[in-house]
């Protein structure tokens, strides 16, 4: 199988100064469609990973999303407190926000 071309065009692009405006617009449209296709493929790959993960470990994706929401909440709280530090040696469950709560 030949390697997949990562761009909408070959390796040698024509000089844009020599192209009429219509061809430039066509090139931009091709690039936009190429990027749209890329994001659709990425969404499909993520969906396949999620389905596989839930098939092997039922409930794992839901737990991951719950943990992600908590992590984002902690990140935003820490971001609002300018002098908040995190001790990497601290093994407590809420070590990320312990120092922040003391200051606030």
Answer whether 69's CB lies under 8 Å from 77's CB: no
Question: Helix 95-103 and helix 60-80: axis angle, to 10°?
Answer: 30
Query: Of residues 64 and 10, which shows the higher confidence score?
Result: 64
Measuring CA to CA, which residue among 10, 6, 2 is closest to residue 35?
A: 6
Helix, strand or coil, per DSSP, at residue 14: coil
pLDDT tens for 46-89 read 999 999 999 999 999 999 999 999 999 999 988 887 666 666 56
Q: How would residue 40 be classed by pLDDT, with cut points 50, 70 and 90?
A: very high
What number of other Cβ atoms are within 10 A of residue 96's Cβ? 19
Q: How many residues does the chain have?
A: 104
For position 93, what pLDDT does the model report?
53
- Average pLDDT over the chain, rounded to an integer: 76
């Amino acid at each position: 199988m030949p390697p997949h071309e990562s761009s909408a065009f070959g390796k040698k692009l024509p000089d844009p100064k020599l192209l009429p405006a219509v061809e430039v617009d066509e090139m931009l449209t091709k690039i936009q469609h190429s990027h749209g296709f890329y994001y659709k493929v990425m969404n499909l790959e993520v969906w396949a990973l999620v389905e596989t993960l839930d098939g092997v470990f039922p409930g794992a994706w839901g737990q991951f999303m719950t943990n992600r929401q908590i992590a984002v909440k902690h990140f935003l709280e820490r971001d609002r407190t300018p002098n908040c530090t995190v001790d990497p040696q601290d093994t407590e469950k809420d070590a990320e926000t312990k120092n922040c709560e003391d200051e606030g």
